[in-house]
Structure 1
């Protein structure tokens, strides 16, 4: 294929892609990519600026690629990325694209007609829908995720035949739950390629179930899911209020669990806080291990940033990394977004990445933490507001003024510090993590209905922020 022709073909792809995504994503992810040609085996090689670009494209634009590439290059196109190393402009690394992004692999066939309900169904090879980037090796461990990571590796080594079935992971958005459960699936497939592993979101399950009901294929739907060896499901809170879907999932859950198949579920809250769920399903969520994936602490945030910088071949001073790690505290996704924004800004402006540049990016993309808030800061602010001596928080008493102050302190400590629930409880009267969790739940519920308590909380938070 001539040099001009392969450039024109890639330009056609870019034109279609540009019309289907937002301008910022196109400018930062697709526009910097250039085509290096298509060989005789119909292998398309694209030169990309970094591994991060590959991650973002394959995580967010798979469906678009599966439509565009075959349309321009033919149904059998294969894709290889050639990564430009920033430190060594002449050096490149070739990476084969996941088959999910090229449409080379046939789309999963529709579930076959259920001709005989007593006959064992035989299904074609199953696309597990796993992102090859989400491995255990690329998942950094810290105090905030140690229990979850340990349980996940145990499950991956012996799926279905362990005490962690189901594994129920909960935590705020962006803390790494999806990465961890996909790492389980990838390790299982690595150890046993024939294992039927499937990752999907609860929303996808809902859509599929709705289609099955509409097309009178619920038996096929249940039969298909009962054939899975390892079911990895994200965002189980999406089932809330969907009674029919919950009842169907209940039967699938029972079948898989009784057959020693592995279930791993994620949620944005613990089972005890889920509302709109049928009780028998909630009970089953608690059969195995429930583990929280907390917001990353400073050390973990720093390690994640350093890893991404080294992997993408960026040059960023350690003081800039420290500044980002101290100010981006909520989740891993924000850290990733800051790095890619700095990379693009540095490339466009042709300037070195500095604290000033990081400050501009952070101001536009994340909520800045204005000051270091410690548990001592919180205790002083709470006790100052309620007119109590700080030492009273440690008393074993049920007096309302002390109980409210202690619960408020626990709630704020979870919100503003990187301490674990057990760590918060230890500092505030040698309480266990369950007591802290109950305190946080109590405050959350009461501020929704108690105007006075809500005003108290706002005033205390102002005192904390003002120092």
Structure 2
């Protein structure tokens, strides 16, 4: 029976599968397609140069043994690189490369070399000059689920994180977007998910990266004409965690490349975890096609921790540091620092340091001094309720009138100003602002903000309203 490219390659795969790790086989050999068999030369199709170089770097010997078993000592191998143009051109990009060449050449038959001298792989995490092909996860093992304390403020996000860590890519939480204000634990939770996955599934490739670093790597790839290699590197990740995804705002090239990476990972059952300081509806200058994908999975918000959670966080921190502190002091700090976890832990560290360096006992008076410094250095956050009261008083109306459905011009303008200042002075989402000011949706709030901006630049009287209320809220 005559041999075909497919039958030869299938036999090679059986041999290779028995001799390498299952995950490596799935990643590097399942995507290969046997194309043709001519004059004892097998042509195989691979998805990118990066892919081809990785095979040559790591699997050249096993490929030669497998092919020799099938076709004898005169066996030859030709790579055909074929990948879809990522700009949407339906015509595939194809070039044929024999196994001992590194540049595009006409199709020709060349023996697989036993001693391969390949150039460095296009791994954006490799330091130039250092041969380190392993993809490090960039995770911080100190950020774990054990020290991410659960409370009402974070229960949904933490539970979703645990579900993703138990079955990455296998839940409906893909992508998982964790959002909330600064210092509430988004980065901690993102790392905890990655750390737990690495512990449960050591064979999976997990990568944590900030959106800022991702952008820098992409710019470098474009400069060096390695865009497709950059894309393929990220497409082989099993669990991709991108921190502060709002940083992609306004960066159309980076958004475009991330769009293609995201699609590939999602379609192949890989897990994507994102963090942001804003909900998807509040992200500006992010392409609509990306925003729609962010909403495919679950968006879980981290809120400011309540009193009980703040006490638990402080006690956990003291326990981990081996410090004993009276409950009344812990309660005092928890009652007075409400904004975020980072400031809460910063206050307790400062208190311990002051007591230790100055050889003072930890007292409520010392705690008061530390807390006053933290509260003074923290910009007071104006509440939405307070803004509505200031605006209502200014226009001599009650809050119920401000929130009412009436379309009278002066009341509509007052309501729009309240929404405008809520967006300016608070960290609340547009949806949250709308819901608190007359049960409106986020689109109404967005329209109100644009209207205030327009009227401020065209109407002298309206500009005075804005200036007066700004002074009252800035006191």
Distance 1:393 1:117 in 2: 68
Distance in 2, matches of 1:417 and 1:163, equals 32
- Distance (whole Å) between structure 2 residues aligned to residue 419 and residue 271 of structure 1: 13
CA distances 1:101-155 after superposition (whole Å, capped 9, x unpaired): xxxxxxxxx9994675649999954321211221222112333323222322222
Structure 2 residue runs of 5 or longer lacking an equivalent are: 1-49, 57-78, 84-120, 124-132, 457-462
Q: 2 CA distance for matches of 1:410 and 1:300?
A: 30
- Write the distance in 1 (CA, Å) between the matches of 2:165 and 2:465: 45
Q: Which residue of 2 aligns with 1:220?
A: 229
Please say if 1:306 is aligned against 2:306: no
User: Contact 2:311 / 2:330 at 8 angstroms: preserved in 1?
Assistant: yes
| Equivalent residues of 1:167, 1:264 under 8 A apart | yes
Query: 1:455 maps to which residue?
Result: 467
CA–CA distance in 1 between the matches of 2:253 and 2:444?
A: 33
In the other structure, the counterpart of 2:172 is: 163
- 1:295 and 1:418 in contact (8 A); partners too: no
CA deviation string 1:285-325 (max 9, x = no partner): 22222232223333322321222123223233333323322
How many angstroms apart in 1 are the aligned matches of 2:135 and 2:196?
Answer: 16
Equivalences for 1:104-115 in 2 at 5 Å? 113=53
Equivalent residue in structure 2 for 1:263, among 272, 293, 297? 272
Q: Shift of the alpha carbon at 1:162?
A: 2.0
1:133 paired residue number: 142
Give the aligned length.
350
1:175 to 184, 196, 201: 184
**Map of 1:137-286 to 2, 5 A cutoff?**
137-286=146-295
Cα distance, 1:301–1:262 mapped onto 2, change above 3 Å: same
Q: For 1:411 and 1:320, how far apart are their aligned partners in 2? A: 39
Distance in 2, Cα, partners of 1:278 & 1:413: 25
Q: What is the alpha-carbon distance in structure 2 between the residues aligned to residue 370 and residue 364 of structure 1?
A: 12
Q: 1:407 to 1:337 in 2, by over 3 A?
A: farther
Q: For residues 205 and 416 of structure 1, do their structure 2 counterparts lie closer, same or farther at Cα, with a shift above 3 Å needed? A: closer
> Distance between the aligned counterparts of 2:376 and 2:446, measured in 1?
24
What CA deviation, in whole Å up to 9, does each residue of 1:425-466 have, x standing for no partner? Answer: 77765x3xxx3655665666666663445335435536xx7x
**Could you tell me how far 1:231 is from its partner in structure 2?**
0.5
Cα distance 1:421–1:155, how it changes in 2: closer, same or farther (>3 A)? farther
d(CA) in 1 for partners of 2:257, 2:348: 42
The 1:445/1:452 distance shift into structure 2, 3 A limit, reads farther
- The reply on whether 1:297 has 2:309 as its aligned counterpart is no
Tell me the distance in 2 between the aligned counterparts of 1:278 and 1:118.
Answer: 31
Larger Rg: 2
The equivalent residue for 2:406 is 397
Which residue of 2 is the match for residue 17 of structure 1? none
1:345 equivalent among 341, 354, 357: 354
Residue-by-residue CA offset, 1:53-97 (whole Å, 9 max, x unaligned)? xxxxxxxxxxxxxxxxxxxxxxxxxxxxxxxxxxxxxxxxxxxxx
TM-score for the superposition, normalised by structure 1:
0.64
Task: Label 1:190 to 1:391 Cα distance change in 2 as closer, same or farther (>3 A).
Answer: same
Compare 348-357 and 289-298 and name the one that shifted more: 289-298
SS in 1 for 2:370: helix
Q: Quick one: distance in 2 between partners of 1:228 and 1:149?
A: 23
- Displacement of 1:260 in angstroms is 0.9
Question: d(CA) in 2 for partners of 1:170 and 1:444?
Answer: 22
| In 1, Cα distance between equivalents of 2:285 and 2:423 | 25
Q: SS of 1:143's equivalent? A: coil
How is 1:308-323 mapped onto 2 (pairs within 5 angstroms)? 308-323=317-332
Distance 1:277 1:421 in 2: 16
Is the 8 Å Cα contact of residues 430 and 446 (structure 2) preserved in structure 1? no
- Structure 1, residues 205-246: CA drift from partner, whole Å, max 9, x if none? 122222222333323222211111110000112222222222
CA-CA distance at 1:351 after TM superposition: 0.8
Q: Is 1:168–1:290's contact at 8 Å kept on the other side of the alignment?
A: yes
State the alpha-carbon separation in 2 of the partners of residues 371 and 270 from structure 1. 23
Q: TM-score, normalised by structure 2?
A: 0.63
Consecutive unaligned residues in structure 1, runs of 5 or more = 1-109
Secondary structure of the 1:170 match is strand
| C-alpha distance in 1 between matches for 2:450 and 2:150 | 32
Alpha-carbon distance between aligned partners in 1 of 2:245 and 2:314, rounded to the nearest angstrom: 29
Q: Using the alignment, how far apart are the partners of 1:299 and 1:440 within structure 2?
A: 33
The 8 Å contact of residues 447 and 453 in structure 1, kept in 2 or not, is answered as no
Helix, strand or coil for the counterpart of 1:290?
Answer: strand
